[in-house]
A and B are shown apart, each in its own frame.
Chain A
């Protein structure tokens, strides 16, 4: 026989204010599925692989295998020049910064996909109804999701950075070069990397709210991320051929993936005629705000069925 207890559950004493409650619920949603540890595992694998590739590359830059090539060839001269440039304080700082941000390329992709899943899961698994019944203020729900996605983006960055922080000094020591990884150039790159992880997670969320389809958003986002920048670069190169002004090349920064590269590459050297780093950051923020804003506006208006 069923009995119903009718004593209304009282609100938790000292309960959190609404916003924290919602954010905490969104984090709980991620934590209670396999998603989070699969993504963390992916993050570790991606970082390890990227670090290995970067380390091998930098090893050969610092110590070119000159005995294997003709000492008087152009290639040998170039390799010697590169090694010399890399062995300067600025060159070593750049190498250290590069190693300390290993895992960034695919890590940002993972952060974006997580952002997509945070919102498209609700439609894929038809939990949007429950979510929006529990809290009918849809903007608050989307904002809570954005914070949750951002926090997981930061977590991914933390995983990559901790791994890099362990491996980078080991590698630099084994190369017998002396460079401080606590110098500003390196720290700046690591911090900009953090901003990139946070932004791509929210960008993914915006894309998810816009498209709602899980597969559609993941495919669109991945294609935009992986191929988008090359395609945009090519298009602007073609425009530049017809209309040869340098600002045409600079304008490539409007593509999110290119903006992200500009933001995290020190000294405006992401590509020829690249704008300053802050321009990349502004463009990326603009895309994040646009995607999230349009997505939220649509979510507020759309029927949930």
Chain B
């Protein structure tokens, strides 16, 4: 599974007059969960579909373990993907849906029952797909992706339609799969969920790469040293003590918001000035704030 690196290089796709994906390059490492983030219409789904040979790029390449998807022998043994929730015949049972995939990939049909159990819908397996809830459809999609026991998993908005318990289940499953050395690439716009799930993130907007790195790196890139919240009865003395090194703003509720320095520096300055502190909190922006800042103005309808 060490060959599960995904490399996207110069990928471009036009639709009529719109550049859905514009010279996009990034890499995804094995053994980690990588969140693929972007506003609606940023080109996430198109990128994933180009990666899976479903959409033809106008330029650029996308490889998995050094090979294009179409060149992989028995691709579902290398790559599993969950693209849309409703991708099964309404009149076919979930189990038969999986068995058809097994059959066309030359995998024993009993594998269908194994993956059904793995995603916890064994009982629903013999029911027709049209009776499935959105959560069951997602689980069936994940089951289908796991049939070939692939080293690479690609999921497009897998949390859609899952209840909180389902989301937690999926988070645990994906983290465990990553810990086994697999490559997990998950697109989403649920940023709080991504903060809990992802190790690395790739942010795109308007078809272009905005930022790539670990969650920490990306958040820090926008944090500018963070922000410090202070409560003190001697606000004026502290403001004077910090003059020139930081910007101090008074909030309505009597606290001060200090930007430009870290919390230890504020504490040290207060100690030197003999200022009494009641509260000193270093505040970091969360992924959501960073994401909104990074993609500002690029999220419009295109």
Cβ–Cβ contact A33 & B92, under 8 A: yes
How many residue pairs, one in A and one in B, have C-beta atoms under 8 Å apart?
122
Does any Cβ of B come within 8 Å of A72's Cβ? no
Residues of chain B within 8 A (CB-CB) of A15 are 106
Q: Which residue of B lies closest to A8 (CB)?
A: B149
B78: min CB distance to chain A, Å = 10
Does any Cβ of B come within 8 Å of A151's Cβ? no
Does any Cβ of B come within 8 Å of A12's Cβ? yes
Once A24-B103, A304-B55 are accepted as A-B contacts, the answer to whether A2 and B49 lie under 8 Å apart by CB is no
Residues of chain B within 8 A (CB-CB) of A282 are none
Cβ–Cβ contact A125 & B89, under 8 A: yes
A126: min CB distance to chain B, Å = 5
Cβ–Cβ contact A134 & B53, under 8 A: no
Once A125-B89, A127-B87 are accepted as A-B contacts, the answer to whether A4 and B177 lie under 8 Å apart by CB is yes
CA A16 to CA B102, docked complex, whole Å = 13
Chain A interface main SS type: loop
Does any Cβ of A come within 8 Å of B114's Cβ? yes
Does any Cβ of B come within 8 Å of A28's Cβ? yes
Residues of chain B within 8 A (CB-CB) of A245 are none
Q: Which residue of B lies closest to A25 (CB)?
A: B104
CA A131 to CA B108, docked complex, whole Å = 17
CA A304 to CA B101, docked complex, whole Å = 18
Binary per-residue interface labels of chain A (23-48) against chain B in the complex, 1 for a CB within 8 Å, 0 otherwise: 01100110011110000000000000
Cβ–Cβ contact B75 & A136, under 8 A: yes
Residues of chain A within 8 A (CB-CB) of B173 are 2, 4
Q: Which residue of A lies closest to B52 (CB)?
A: A133
CA A126 to CA B146, docked complex, whole Å = 19
Does any Cβ of A come within 8 Å of B69's Cβ? yes
Cβ–Cβ contact A6 & B84, under 8 A: no
Binary per-residue interface labels of chain B (74-103) against chain A in the complex, 1 for a CB within 8 Å, 0 otherwise: 111101010110111111110011011101
Does any Cβ of A come within 8 Å of B245's Cβ? no
Does any Cβ of A come within 8 Å of B299's Cβ? no
CA A121 to CA B104, docked complex, whole Å = 17
CA A8 to CA B77, docked complex, whole Å = 8
B14: min CB distance to chain A, Å = 12
Does any Cβ of A come within 8 Å of B176's Cβ? yes
Cβ–Cβ contact A303 & B54, under 8 A: yes
Does any Cβ of B come within 8 Å of A135's Cβ? yes
Residues of chain A within 8 A (CB-CB) of B56 are 301, 303
Residues of chain B within 8 A (CB-CB) of A29 are 89, 92, 100
Once A2-B118, A2-B172, A134-B76 are accepted as A-B contacts, the answer to whether A303 and B100 lie under 8 Å apart by CB is no
Cβ–Cβ contact B149 & A126, under 8 A: no
Q: List 9 A-B contacts (CB under 8 A).
A: A5-B114, A9-B111, A9-B114, A12-B106, A12-B108, A35-B91, A129-B54, A132-B54, A304-B49
On A, residues with C-beta under 8 Å from B are 2-9, 11-12, 15-16, 18, 21-22, 24-25, 28-29, 32-35, 121, 125-127, 129-137, 301, 303-305
On B, residues with C-beta under 8 Å from A are 45, 49, 52-56, 69-70, 72, 74-77, 79, 81, 83-84, 86-93, 96-97, 99-101, 103-108, 111, 114, 118, 120, 144, 146-149, 169, 172-173, 176-177, 180
